[in-house]
Amino acid sequence: MNGVHDMGGMHGMGPIAPEPDEPVFHHHWEKRVLALALATGFLRRWNIDMGRYTIEQMPPAEYLRATYYEKWLYRTERLLVERGLLTAGELASGRPDGRPPGARALPPGDVQAALRGRRAARMDDHLKAPTFKAGDRVRTRNVHPRHHTRLPRYARGKVGVIDRDHGVFILPDEHATSGTKVPSHCYAVRFEGRELWGPDAGPRDAIYIDLFDEYLEPA
Amino acid sequence: MDTARVSWYQWTRSTKEDRVSGHDHDHDHEPGVHGAPLTDTQLRVRALESLLVDKGLVDPAALDTLIDTYETKVGPRNGARVVAKAWVDPAFKQRLLADSTEAIAELGYIGRQGEDMVVLENTPKVHNMVVCTLCSCYPWPVLGLPPVWYKSAPYRSRAVIDPRGVLREFGVQIGDDVEVRVWDSTAELRYLVLPERPAGTDGMSEDALAALVTRDAMIGVAKVKGPRG
């Protein structure tokens, strides 16, 4: 979706302002949100792409105003309600309505193993043959899907070169909606700065973007 | 749109006007310890946690483990150990660049948001930096949770269109003869920059070298300074 989350190349967002000696958390509630988000993720009622897509659907003004952990809170509350694990009434009142819970918490003893899992979005290489190889010239599709995609707006309809084939991964677009794991090769694609931004870009600037087969055509 | 979602939107709208939007400065205290009224966000988080615990959907001990892991155990010191080892051990560096995930796993740094790692080597001719323009993807097992600036609109918007300007803002001047490569983490690969080893560090131990390596250098928005700065 052409959302406000897709920020690459926007102007007017102000200075970067790094904070010296920044703490891991700025507020007590941020820790709780991190933990609640991860722990409810362990219930496996949604995947990471659904989580990202949920945040992308925040009203744009809210998205821009919200801090990182406020976005996480929004995502967690909304997915819990959409998946039927909580009701909006329960969220508003803070009190259980007596329905049986639709899932069981991950036991504390299993948390470290869950965090240290080494398999996430990668799929077996034999599931799909690559469409491109390193050195191939490609053009990104000029598409504007209304759903979740990881082809940024600033890189649509642009010509680049395949830098490397990372292997087969879950295509995020379909995964974010139906949950279906469509195998797709993911490539690091190199774009010259001037291809993306025109003559004002530095002549020795290059942008590498991880893109899937479905986003690319031969150039 | 189902009724639950409509109710949910109505609920968020009804509380929005009262919102303090998280820019309150309760710092790291338990909410309300100084008698200050709880913000809307604090109330929402507290209500959500007690509800989920009451329903058996989360376990309080699991929450504590999760917080402790990311507050005290996983952080940029992990990445610094990877970098220092690569500086002193050529065979490790070769493995690190050839199969980053496996080489980093040799040091025990594996798992969530680092399942598939790519290490990018900075050289006198190439400077790499990492961004996530679409959200805030970041290599947790080696760098911990991302700093606020990395997750914020100014960095996410400008890193790809004006990388040298962004680097100048971080105090880094890159020569015109040096190529700048910006890596936008749009998929599930996670990137770690292997910074250049600074001059004046010959003979330093791996531990002493690791102490020089900063988080920002491993994102690619800083260079590593030698022991005399």
As a whole number of angstroms, the distance between CA A83 and CA A91 comes to 14
Closest by alpha carbon to B51, among A30, A97, A201? Answer: A97
> For B146-160, what is each residue's pLDDT tens digit?
999 999 999 999 999
Whether B1 shows a pLDDT value over 80: the answer reads no
In B, minimum Cα distance to A169 occurs at B188
Q: Which helix (H) or strand (E) holds A165?
A: strand A159-170
* B135 catalytic per annotation: yes
* B137 catalytic per annotation: yes
How many Cβ pairs closer than 8 A exist between chain A and B? 306
As a whole number of angstroms, the distance between CA A128 and CA A168 comes to 7
pLDDT band at B35 (very low <50, low <70, confident <90, very high): low
Residues A157, A213 share a domain: yes
Residues A205, A131 share a domain: yes
Whether B104 shows a pLDDT value over 70: the answer reads yes
In a domain? residue A130: yes
B37 Cβ neighbours under 8 A, 6+ residues apart:
none
As a whole number of angstroms, the distance between CA B152 and CA A7 comes to 10
> For B70-88, what is each residue's pLDDT tens digit?
999 999 999 999 999 999 9
Residues A211, A130 share a domain: yes
Which domains are present in chain B? Answer: 38-73 (no CATH), 75-219 (3.90.330.10)
Q: State the total domains in chain A.
A: 2
As a whole number of angstroms, the distance between CA B205 and CA B48 comes to 48
Number of other residues whose CB lies within 10 A of the CB of residue A194: 14
Residues A205, A145 share a domain: yes
Closest by alpha carbon to B192, among B72, B97, B69? Answer: B97
Answer whether A115's CB lies under 8 Å from B114's CB: no
Residue A70, domain CATH: 1.10.472.20
Q: Smallest CA–CA separation between A25 and chain B, in Å?
A: 8
The region of weakest confidence among B25-34, B107-116, B206-215 is B25-34
| pLDDT mean for each 10 residues of chain A (219 residues) | 98 96 96 98 97 98 96 98 95 88 92 92 96 98 97 98 98 97 98 97 97 98
Answer whether B130's CB lies under 8 Å from B137's CB: no
Which domain does A48 fall in, by range? Answer: 28-95+108-115
pLDDT of residue B30: 57
Residue of A2, A7, A83 to mutate for B, most B C-beta atoms under 10 A = A7
Tokens for B49, please give them.
């946690």
Residues 94-153 in A contacting B (C-alpha not used; CB under 8 Å): 94-96, 101, 103-108, 111-112, 114-122, 150-152
**pTM for this entry:** 0.92
Residues A81, A160 share a domain: no
Closest by alpha carbon to B114, among A209, A173, A50, A116? Answer: A116
As a whole number of angstroms, the distance between CA B141 and CA B130 comes to 16
Answer whether A212's CB lies under 8 Å from A171's CB: yes
ipTM: 0.97
Answer whether A138's CB lies under 8 Å from A159's CB: yes
Angle at B70 between CA B157 and CA B85, to 5 degrees: 85
Residue of B43, B184, B216, B221 to mutate for A, most A C-beta atoms under 10 A = B184
As a whole number of angstroms, the distance between CA B109 and CA B107 comes to 6
* Mean pLDDT for the stretch of residues B224-228: 91
As a whole number of angstroms, the distance between CA A149 and CA A171 comes to 9
Residue A136 is which amino acid? Answer: D
As a whole number of angstroms, the distance between CA B205 and CA B50 comes to 49
* Mean pLDDT for the stretch of residues B191-195: 98
As a whole number of angstroms, the distance between CA B190 and CA B150 comes to 14
CB-nearest to B26 from A27, A67, A73 is A27
CB-nearest to A88 from B4, B61, B147 is B4
Residues A88, A146 share a domain: no
Inter-chain touch B144–A24, beta carbons under 8 Å: yes
Closest by alpha carbon to A189, among A131, A143, A145? Answer: A131
On average, the pLDDT of chain B sits at: 88
pLDDT of residue B114: 96
Cα distances (angstroms) measured from residue A100 to each of A61, A96, A103, A104, B57: 36, 9, 9, 10, 11
In a domain? residue A163: yes
In a domain? residue A120: no
Cα distances (angstroms) measured from residue A175 to each of A183, B3, B117: 10, 24, 21
Whether B8 shows a pLDDT value over 60: the answer reads no
pLDDT band at B208 (very low <50, low <70, confident <90, very high): very high
CB-nearest to A210 from B4, B163, B186 is B186
* B152 catalytic per annotation: no
Domain boundary among A115, A144, A168: A115
pLDDT of residue B22: 36
> For B45-55, what is each residue's pLDDT tens digit?
999 999 999 99
As a whole number of angstroms, the distance between CA B170 and CA A18 comes to 8
Residue A158, domain CATH: 2.30.30.50
Q: Smallest CA–CA separation between B89 and chain A, in Å?
A: 25
What's the residue count for chain B?
229
